[in-house]
Amino acid sequence: MNPNLKQGETLFAEMKINVLTEFKNEKRPERRKWKKGESM
């Protein structure tokens, strides 16, 4: 197997996880508010 391909798959999986996490946060407005307040 090509190591570069494996690395690309890992990167894609991480991106998918990030998108899913953001989507979950969107569904919970109270969590988004807390996140916004913390970053300010």
Q: CA 4, 14, 40 angle in degrees (round to 5)?
A: 135
Cα-Cα-Cα-Cα dihedral sign, residues 13, 19, 20, 22: positive
Question: Which pLDDT belongs to residue 23?
Answer: 81
pLDDT value of position 33: 61
The per-residue pLDDT for 31 is: 59
Condensed to tens digits (0 to 9), the pLDDT of residues 1-40 reads: 567 778 888 888 998 988 888 887 777 666 556 566 655 4
Q: Whole-model pTM?
A: 0.42
Q: What is the pLDDT of residue 7?
A: 82
